């Protein structure tokens, strides 16, 4: 009994001294609870909605109010023609567009059957299916009132024609595969780089490198370039396999795709280098790498759950997740065929993230090398 007690005390002292492991043990469960509790929601709300009102009557305004007041839709724009609809859906500024035909109010008030159109962005099949269901439900509720006033019994007075762009069959593969590409690329790049540098520490070769004329910046470049090339080849192979095995289309430019993947990987590799400056063992490096790449990419990028449905605090945090921007670019190129001008803001965000991560990792390495001398 005394031996067991002594062993327990030794382990408690060791855990208390290893602050990084202790932080992970205490922080990770609470972090998972918060992320899963708030981000894991199948209720889709705050759907960006644009409206093309060709009637501008009290009846059309009533339909628009029904959508906005439902709590599911947010009115973000009023459009005048099809060109504006294309622009909003291509950029992702609107996820649905409600088109109200001319003479809508007069037809509805006189008991004539009339139809509205709901155009839905289908790059996220699950969200698109839900948006179509919401639209039909809201139109049915408005139609019921007109039917009661007109005493109609021959079927619904108002109907909605749903058109899903970019993924008309609502195939979940076209929405999941781009997210998996981002997830796999981020995880492999971060973990491989972090473990590679920490392995140098464990083997003792890092001390020899510090004594050489090689500076921290040159060391970072020399360490990341090979992994960048391997990760880029792997990512492009995944894209090719997705097109071959899952019939994922390629409607945009391969050059834009290569540029976007490269920027994303540079940021991911820089994160791996930064982690290596914080961890002393491969086990701790792997835990930090998984925590910082797996969870944000899976839960906070819009891969599975729409960002607009998350609490405001989590929506703010998603701006620091590079996969958020990469997914927008990837789906825009692959599914929509849009050019770089449509998502230049997301490209700038990836450049900023990569620059910040490279700067932080270089500063940490300089500090670490200075303290070791």
At 229 the pLDDT is: 81
- pLDDT at residue number 209: 61
pLDDT at residue 235 in the model: 80
Tens of pLDDT along 109-155?
777 788 888 988 887 777 888 888 888 888 888 777 776 655 555 55
pLDDT tens profile 227-268: 788 778 878 887 887 788 778 888 888 888 888 988 998 888
Of the pLDDT bands very low, low, confident and very high (cuts 50, 70, 90), residue 349 is very high
Q: Which residue has the higher pLDDT, 13 or 338?
A: 338
Per the document, the length of the chain is 373
Region class of 169: left (phi > 0), else alpha (psi between -120 and 50), else beta = alpha
Domain extents in the chain: 47-165, 172-372
Give residue 182's pLDDT.
Answer: 82
The pLDDT value recorded for residue 1 is 59
Query: Contact, 273 vs 361, CB < 8 A?
Result: yes
**Confidence bin at 350 (pLDDT 50/70/90):** very high
Report whether pLDDT(102) > 80: yes
Closest CA to 292 of 271, 267, 266, 310: 271
CATH class in words for 47-165: alpha beta
How confident is the model over 192-209, as a mean pLDDT? 70
Helix, strand counts (H, E) of the chain = 14, 5
Question: Percentage of the chain surpassing pLDDT 70?
Answer: 79
Distances, alpha carbon 14 to alpha carbons 4, 18, 214, in Å: 15, 6, 35
Residue from 330, 354, 71, 43 nearest 224 by CA: 354
Distance of alpha carbon 98 from the chain centroid:
25
Would strands 47-53 and 73-78 be described as parallel, antiparallel, or unpaired?
parallel
């Amino acid at each position: 009994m005394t031996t067991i007690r002594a062993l327990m005390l030794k382990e408690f002292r060791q855990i208390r001294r290893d602050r990084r492991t202790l932080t992970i043990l205490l922080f990770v469960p609470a972090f998972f609870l918060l992320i899963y509790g708030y981000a894991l929601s199948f209720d889709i709300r705050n759907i960006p909605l644009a409206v093309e009102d060709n009637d501008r009557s009290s009846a059309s305004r009533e339909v628009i109010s029904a959508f906005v007041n439902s709590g599911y839709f947010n009115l973000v724009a009023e459009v005048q023609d099809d060109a504006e609809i294309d622009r909003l859906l291509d950029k992702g500024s609107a996820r649905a567009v409600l088109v109200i035909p001319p003479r809508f109010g007069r037809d509805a008030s006189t008991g004539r059957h009339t139809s509205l159109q709901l155009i839905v962005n289908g790059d996220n099949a699950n969200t698109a299916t839900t948006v179509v269901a919401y639209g039909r439900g809201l139109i049915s509720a408005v139609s019921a009132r007109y039917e009661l006033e007109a005493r109609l019994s021959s079927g619904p007075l108002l109907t909605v024609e749903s058109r899903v762009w970019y993924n008309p069959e609502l195939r979940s593969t076209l929405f999941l595969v781009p997210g998996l590409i981002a997830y796999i690329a981020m995880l492999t790049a971060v973990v491989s780089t972090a473990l590679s540098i920490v392995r140098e520490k464990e083997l003792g070769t890092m001390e020899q490198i510090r004594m050489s004329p090689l500076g921290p910046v040159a060391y970072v470049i020399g360490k990341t370039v090979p992994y960048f090339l391997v990760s880029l080849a792997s990512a492009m192979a995944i894209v090719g396999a997705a097109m071959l095995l899952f019939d994922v289309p390629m409607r945009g430019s391969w050059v834009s795709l290569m540029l976007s993947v490269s920027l994303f990987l540079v940021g991911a590799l820089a994160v791996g280098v930064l982690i290596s400056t914080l961890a002393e063992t491969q086990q701790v490096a792997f835990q930090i790498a998984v925590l910082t790449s797996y969870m944000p990419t899976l839960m906070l990028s819009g891969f599975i759950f729409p960002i607009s449905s998350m609490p405001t605090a989590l929506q703010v945090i998603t701006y620091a997740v590079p996969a958020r921007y990469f997914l927008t670019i990837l789906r825009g190129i692959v599914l929509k065929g849009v050019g770089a001008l449509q998502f230049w803001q997301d490209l700038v965000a990836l450049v900023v993230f990569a620059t910040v991560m490279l700067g932080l990792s270089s500063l940490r390495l300089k500090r670490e090398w200075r303290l070791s001398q």
